[in-house]
Structure 1
């Protein structure tokens, strides 16, 4: 009899609603993660619980209200759709589950359901294309902290990243090819930013500022460097889309201070507009579903910034969402 396998899809999470109280609860859990804000415990508690959350919750609530649809958070909506579509692609020997690192559906609850079901094999697949300690690492850590207490621990497979997977790349390419790329003056590949200190922890013998990964990817030394895999993702996509090097820029968004990965996406958008670019296309390859950082930050805020500085149109390439090719990519990642 074939072995029974459970595939656990994981994403970062979303507030239950855009109301201030729910946003506050989400931010409290998210920002208190020691891998997200990797500073000493007491300093993190003071910074998060007394400064960041109290002062950011109300403002973040307003932004989430811009994102929210009548059916809820796009991240959750697409997560459920992807779960259902992937399940349809598999036979009865496979069960697909969905959980979020923060908030609902919680990893504690879903993993408890999986424990009771007792599969022979568990595939843990965080939907983060590029590995980072604050996303993939945090998700794996919580999963293993739960699983280590099970009486019966099944065979466990961890899918740690897929920035170079053909199905993932081809889905983004297909979404971009809906447009006439020849009409665009420039292209930006915008990734979520990280503090430089977190990048340096991956290769403590080399300072991030002195690395050459923005020019050449070395799989032997750069495979788990978030910055390196972002640049490599962009190179792979630019090749598929026939975008020459001089027509695209790799940038990083959502920074909290100046000691984060550069260049900053908003500064690049502003600079391109001031230099005469009229039509700009922005990709968000770090996000598999439309969310706050894509729909609002890039689509709305950067779109306004571009026009304010002389640009005419900023086009955001939609995320993978529930694209059929993305479903096939997830199937391949889970089964191979």
Structure 2
């Protein structure tokens, strides 16, 4: 079977200009799976309030991390593409949920490299399931596939939050940072509104109903982002033999005034020095490629919050990016799936 691989990431503005950032934010925030309200309400909120105020600030934030080659997220995803391509015969392309290159561009690139393509394995680069990340990426890829009238079929890699290859790669990427003294390691995941957790609860009566809901077996866990984040943390800390007293989790990137998953990363960074945590490591396992949320929000803004509160040393552990163990895992999935 003629097969191709499509690595699908979140996306990025084309440049740091306010115009390009505004275009990107409009596409991102107008996604009904990101801001899940009626179209008219979303339109008024996004284009009337959020984007006009947020675009200049976001453009400044992007400028602080932009590389000579462009967006870190795009550059790192292309590096991952090249690393995987060097190890497999099947053609590899990349696509973004928002911005460029689109899934259509990715599909066309694969067809150019492999005429008569019969199957494309789509790898959404989101370890945990959420309607605003994994689900929207998959549905968008399917929509582009259908509208493009492509003859090849799609094989979608499922969320891999507990897949041994991913966990092993994550553990390997963290290991070097544990060799020096540290007080604590914080696993900071991208946050989502609590209402998204309720919407994804297939039982309708499990998620966030009790303090230990994520540890009580339930069909809801298949689509529960919080549960899957906690599983990732538990598995990787067990693999690394990190004592429970030396790690915790939190959720970052809150938008708006609604209740989001807690604890909030920014709040914990403010509190930790007062709890005796002066030397902090931060890992961001919801991301496989470093991006605005890791390089600016954590490595710059988060570090400033922590040090200003009395912390002494702050280290952000890079995402998997093109770590050899991660590339090996993708190579395996390309041939055998999960």
| Per-residue Cα deviation, 1:187-214 (whole angstroms, up to 9, x for no partner) | 1110000011111111152253224557
1:40–1:176 Cα change, 3 Å: same
Deviation at 1:334, TM superposition (A): 2.5
| Per-residue Cα deviation, 1:154-192 (whole angstroms, up to 9, x for no partner) | 332111211112222222222222124562111111000
1:123–1:212 Cα change, 3 Å: farther
| Residue of structure 1 equivalent to 2:294 | 294
Deviation at 1:304, TM superposition (A): 1.0
| Residue of structure 1 equivalent to 2:104 | 108
Q: Which blocks of at least 5 consecutive residues in structure 2 are unaligned?
A: none
CA RMSD between the two structures: 1.8
Q: Is the 8 A contact 2:270 2:306 kept in 1?
A: yes
Deviation at 1:216, TM superposition (A): 2.0
**1:201-216 counterparts in 2 under 5 A?**
201-203=199-201, 205-206=204-205, 208-211=207-210, 216=215
Deviation at 1:118, TM superposition (A): 3.6
| Residue of structure 2 equivalent to 1:140 | 138
| Residue of structure 2 equivalent to 1:244 | 243
1:164–1:213 Cα change, 3 Å: farther
| Residue of structure 1 equivalent to 2:94 | 98
1:313–1:289 Cα change, 3 Å: same
1:105–1:215 Cα change, 3 Å: closer
Other structure's SS at 2:93 match: strand
Q: Which deviates the most, 100-109 or 44-53? A: 100-109
**1:209-228 counterparts in 2 under 5 A?**
209-211=208-210, 216=215, 218=217, 220-228=219-227
Aligned length: 332
| Residue of structure 1 equivalent to 2:159 | 161
Other structure's SS at 2:142 match: helix
Matched, 1:11 2:48: no
Q: 2:117 aligns with which of 106, 116, 119?
A: 119
Other structure's SS at 1:82 match: helix
Q: Which deviates the most, 305-314 or 200-209? A: 200-209
Could you list the structure 1 runs, at least 4 aligned residues long, displaced by more than 6 angstroms after superposition: none
| Residue of structure 2 equivalent to 1:320 | 320
| Residue of structure 1 equivalent to 2:32 | 34
Measure the CA separation in 1 of the matches of 2:216 and 2:119.
33
Deviation at 1:218, TM superposition (A): 3.2
Measure the CA separation in 1 of the matches of 2:97 and 2:79.
18
Measure the CA separation in 2 of the matches of 1:202 and 1:246.
31
| Per-residue Cα deviation, 1:45-84 (whole angstroms, up to 9, x for no partner) | 0000111111100000110011111221111111111111
| Residue of structure 1 equivalent to 2:331 | 331
1:184–1:152 Cα change, 3 Å: closer
1:332–1:218 Cα change, 3 Å: farther
Other structure's SS at 2:208 match: helix
Q: Which deviates the most, 182-191 or 298-307? A: 182-191
| Residue of structure 2 equivalent to 1:267 | 267
Measure the CA separation in 2 of the matches of 1:43 and 1:193.
22
